[in-house]
Every structure is written in structure tokens, then in C-alpha cells.
Amino acid sequence: MNATCSCDQCSGKATLWMKGDEIVRVTARKDQWGEVEEFICDTCPYSTWAERKVAAVMQDRIGPNRAGPFALLQPLADGGKFFFKEDFTPANAERFLFVLGPALVMFISLITGAVIPWGKSLNIGGTSFDLQVANIDVGVLYIIGMASIGVYGIMIGGWASNNKYSLIGAIRASSQMISYELAMGLALLSIIMMTGSLDLKVISETQATGKLWGLFAIDGMNWNIFYQPIAFLVFIVAALAETNRHPFDLPECESELVTGYSTEYSSMKLGLYMFGEYVNMFISNAFMVVLFFGGYNYPGIEWVTQHWGENTAGILSIVAFLTKTIIGILIFMWIRWTLPRFRYDQLMHLGWKTLIPMALVNLLVTGAVILAFGS
Amino acid sequence: MILSVLSSPALVSGLMVARAKNPVHSVLFSILVFRDTSGLLLLLGLDFFAMIFPVVHIGAIAVSFLFVVMMFHIQIAEIHEEVLRYLPVSGIIGLIFWWEMFFILDNETIPLLPTQINTTSLIYTVYAGKVQSWTNLETLGNLLYTYYSVWFLLPSLILLVAMIGAIVLTMHRTTKVKRQDVFRRNAIDFRRTIMRRTTDPITR
């Protein structure tokens, strides 16, 4: 195997052990992702399957192909494996907090999705159902609040493991997450200033109709990304950092901190940590789609509502929303298997010294434009 | 019922903040206090503040406390420490807070609380029903940035002072401290460095 540093198939994961100028040993890792997750909901098992297959395509190899056709049952196999592993608690660990950590991560990741509008309304038996669990006035703020609380699952888990490396991993993870929350909030502010409301349903509605840049109107394509590309860039970088996703996955990198905060976890608790990360990624993508890509709107939504009825438009809007979210997840995975990992000080530098000024400037420019043109 | 479900854990957690032996438990109980207070604010109808509480208090303030407590090896408090010796001063401070609570409850400047039975100037009105579809955020912005804008700028100055304090504490003295430049370190190539070898006295 050609494992020099300039080989583009190893993506930097081969380690050269050099003595002076000669290579003594070459080691490479087979399983980079460690143990993978599953269960609980329908889409997430297959996001891990997609991740491994996408990773395989990026790295020019086949990927899992044993458990079922195209390894579609691989996530189930992994989930079953998790149940059968031994579930231990390390010595001198705080038992309550040890169990609470992964539970909190999973819980927070799941309830963040309560305010996302999954589609336009469906009309069943005469009553119109909003496809959103809770339509609150402060939807965006709720998601930011829950993201802030999601930091705790990692911190508590890392501390309760009674392991100094876990603690360092947890502290790094939480400092990374709180740094990028600021950039995310500032990027969100420009969107909120434009839309004028924190309600996610209202944000989706304002992206349905309207003239793009005041010039021409495509039905259902008044998406915020055409107005706020910089905010989108800041948001996607901050979302990658918030979900501890590569290239910001220093907290859980395997070469430096032995999986960081989840070192002492086994079986389903580890499953909950890993799976919580995937749920978080899904919800972050859904949120990004709502904010920037028009939520459930697709081109022609008004026409469909008028001609084919509300139910068809509703179902098509769910399909459109999920398609956009899945494209976002594929882009996240694409980024993961392409870029090397950030060093910790580079990460902090990016968050505080680059993203926050960029988001602030964007905010000022948005405010100036709104003041000047009044829209 | 929801009020009691939220307020009693808040009180108990507040007590446990002071009484917990492990400082990490102390901070975690304070997180519980914030969460219950956020719920109480929701019951009062202040949805914006109820959502700001997790973001600011739980997500930033308590996390900072948790950093300090987790990273430093703070000794767990002794079991038989004399807590009664704190009673004089802490008792006075506690009584001051207690009195302040009653002062606010009886005060006319907060007219919306239903304890205002005796005042004749203001009737208990549900203002949220009168103002058509103004969210909490809109009312806050309408007042904070216009009439009370000076009060808005003052906390920003306080935060600036705090920031300067933190930076001064952690800034390295640049003259006497030797630091590595990380990018230069990474750019060092083995083949272009000059290594000093000492010959082995036995073999050579």
C-alpha cells in the first residue's frame, strides 16, 4: 500500500514512524469511525450507513457490504451489537452523573427538533394540521437555548468518568461549542432581522413567495440564502463545530485523546453519545434548511396548492424538506472525509477571531440595507 | 400545580447549592435552579426571558463556573466543618434579602403582580390581551432601544471592563517569556535542520 504523505487516498490517516530520514514503520487505521450507532428513529440508522458508504466512495474502497443487500442492515447489526456488549461503570465514577451524560445528550438533541416545521399543513378530515410539534413565538431562541444545554451532556459525561483524559476532552468540547454558539447566534440575528420574527413557521412562510432581490419572482424560491450568503457560511461552519463534527471533532478524535469524553463508555451509553451526535447533525441540518433554504418550500408550491389541493402540496413539501436535509447531511459527510482536523488553537482562533467579526460585519451590513431599502 | 412542580425544586436546589459537598454538584444544582426559574418565567408569560435563561445563564454562566470547578482540584468540603460560625454575617445578609423580597411585593412600581389589592390607581389588567399580537421581544425592543437606551449601553460598558480584566489577567508578558510559534514549529523540516551529534565515547 502506497502510504507516503502525498498519497491522496489515505487522507492523512497513515502514520509514518521515521527514524531520522528513513521510514521504520507505517501504520494505518482501518476503522476510523470506531463504533457506530443506530436505533431509535428511522432516518438516523441510515445516516450512519450512508456515512460509511460515502466515506468508502471518497476513499476509493467498497465499505460495508456484508449485512444485507448493500449492507442496508448494517446499522441494525451495529445496534444489536451495542446491546450485547458489556455495560460497565468505571471505578470511583459518579454513577448518577455517568448515566445522566449520554441521556442528556440524546434528550436535548431530540427535543430540539420539536419546533421545526417539517412541512406545510395537511388537511385531514376537514381540520388543518400544522406539521410542527410546537409552534412557539420564540422558536429560534428555543433551538439556541437547547444547543447551549446540550453542552452539558458532554461535560457531565466527561467529568463523571473519573478519567483525566475524558475531562480534558470534555472541557475542550464544551469550550469549542460555546465559542461557536456566539458565531451561530450572530449569523442567525441577520436572518431574524430580515424576517422580523423568531417563529420558524413565519420564517418558512416568508421564503415562499416574494420577489427575489426585488427583481423577479419564482414561486416558492424566495430563499434566504440568496440574501444572506455570508450568514450561511458562518452558520454552516458554526453548525459543524456545534455538533462536534469533522473538521471540528477534536473532542472525539481517536489519535489524540482516545475518543475523548466517551472513553469510559460502553454499549448503549456509548451508543447514545454517538447516536446523539447524528441526531444533532440531522436537527442542525433541518434548522439550516428552515433558515436558509426555504424550509419546506419548493419551486411551484403555490401552483400546486391551488391546482392539486392542500394535501398534495403538504406531502410534497415534506418530501422537499427531507430531500434538502439529506443533501445537507451529505455535504456534512463530504466535508468530513475531505478535510483534516483542526488543531485546538486554530479552532479557537477561527471561532473567535474570524467568524464573529465576519458575522458582526454581516449584521451591520444587513442592518444598513434594511434601513436604506426598508424591506 | 405546575407552579409547585417548578418552584419547589427551585428552592430545594438553591439550598443544595450551598449545602452540597462536591463543588461540581453545587454548580449542577445551580443549573437546576436556572432551569426551574426559566419554567417559572414561562408561567408568567414571559416567553422571551424564559428562552434567554437557558442560553445565557445555563449555557454561558454555569458553563464557565463548571470549567473552573472541574478543571481545578478543589477539595471536597469536610463533613464536620463548623458551619454555624458563618451565622452572624450570613444571617444579616439573608435577612436583608428576605426584607427586599417583601419590599418588592408591596411596592407600587410593579403593578402587574396580583398582590396589588389596595392600590386604587391600577387595576389588574392582562396587558398581553390588550396589545394586539405584539410578542415579548417586540415590546422589549420598543422600550429598550428608545427610552432606556442609556441603560442598555451601560451593561455593555460593564462587560467591556470585565473583558479587559480577563485579558489583562491572562496576557503573557511578551519580553521575558519564551513562547513557541506554532506555525514555525510545523514548518521545520527534518532534512533542512542541522543536528548536533555527540559521538559515543566507547565505539569511537
Q: State the ipTM, two decimals.
A: 0.72
Grid cell listed for A324: 434538502
**How many structural domains is chain B composed of?**
2
Whether the predicted pLDDT of A43 surpasses 70: no
Which pLDDT does position A303 carry in this prediction?
78
Residue A324, pLDDT > 50, answer yes
Residue A17 phi/psi, 5-degree rounding, is: -100, 110
> Which pLDDT belongs to residue A240?
87
Among residues A103, A126, A138, the alpha carbon closest in space to that of A265 is found at A103
Tens of pLDDT, residues A183-218:
899 999 998 888 888 888 888 888 887 766 666 667
Least confident piece of the model among A10-14, A28-32, A35-39, A69-73: A35-39
Instruction: Go through A255-286 and write b for each residue having 16 or more CB atoms within 10 A of its CB, e for each that does not.
Output: ebbebbbbbbbbbbbbbbbbbbbbbbbbbbbb
List the domain range (segments joined by +) for residue A90.
79-373
In a domain, B161, yes or no: yes
Question: Is B45 within the bounds of a domain?
Answer: yes
**Out of A145, A149, A171, closest to residue B67 by CB:** A171
**DSSP assigned state of A138:** T
Write down the pLDDT at residue A228. 85
Per-residue burial over A216-240, b if 16 or more Cβ lie within 10 Å, else e, is eeebbbbbbbebbebbbbbbbbbbb
Residue A184 lies in a domain: yes
Domain count, chain A: 1
Point out the least confidently predicted range of A130-134, A182-186, A367-371: A130-134
Q: What is the DSSP letter of A216?
A: B
Is A24 a domain residue?
A: no
Cβ(A81)–Cβ(A45) under 8 Å? no
For chain A, the residues whose C-beta falls within 8 A of a C-beta of chain B are: 18, 20-21, 97, 136-138, 141-142, 144-149, 151-152, 155-156, 159, 167, 170-171, 174-175, 178, 181, 185, 197-198, 343, 345
Is residue A125 within 8 A of residue A73, CB to CB? The reply is no
CATH number at residue B18: 1.20.120.1200
User: HSE on the CB side for A237, CA within 13 Å?
Assistant: 23
Per CB-CB distance under 8 Å, the chain A contacts of B66 are: 152, 155, 174
What beta strand segments (E) does chain A contain? 14-19, 22-28, 119-124, 127-131
Choose among A97, A145, A174: nearest Cβ to B63.
Answer: A174
| pTM for this prediction | 0.75
Residues in A closer than 8 angstroms to B70, CB to CB, are 155, 159, 167, 170-171
- Percent of chain A predicted with pLDDT > 90: 8
Give pLDDT, residue A135.
Answer: 81
Do A211 and A292 meet the contact criterion of CB atoms below 8 Å apart?
no
User: Which of these, A341, A369, A41, A358, lies nearest to A230 by C-alpha position?
Assistant: A358
Q: Which of A14-18, A79-83, A255-259, A324-328 has the highest mean pLDDT?
A: A324-328
Q: Tell whether B36 is covered by a domain.
A: yes
A68-72, A253-257, B198-202: segment of lowest average pLDDT: A253-257
Which cell numbers in the block locate residue A144?
439556541
Residue at A19 is within a domain: no
Could you tell me if residue B118 is inside a domain? no
Question: Is position A67 within any domain?
Answer: no
pLDDT in the model for residue A310: 77
Average pLDDT, chain A: 75
CB contact under 8 A, A137 and B135: yes
Q: Is residue B160, in this structure, part of any structural domain at all?
A: yes
Give the range of the structural domain holding residue B8, as residue numbers without chain letter: 1-74
Question: pLDDT band at residue B186, thresholds of 50, 70 and 90?
Answer: confident
Q: Of residues A345 and B150, which shows the higher confidence score? A: B150
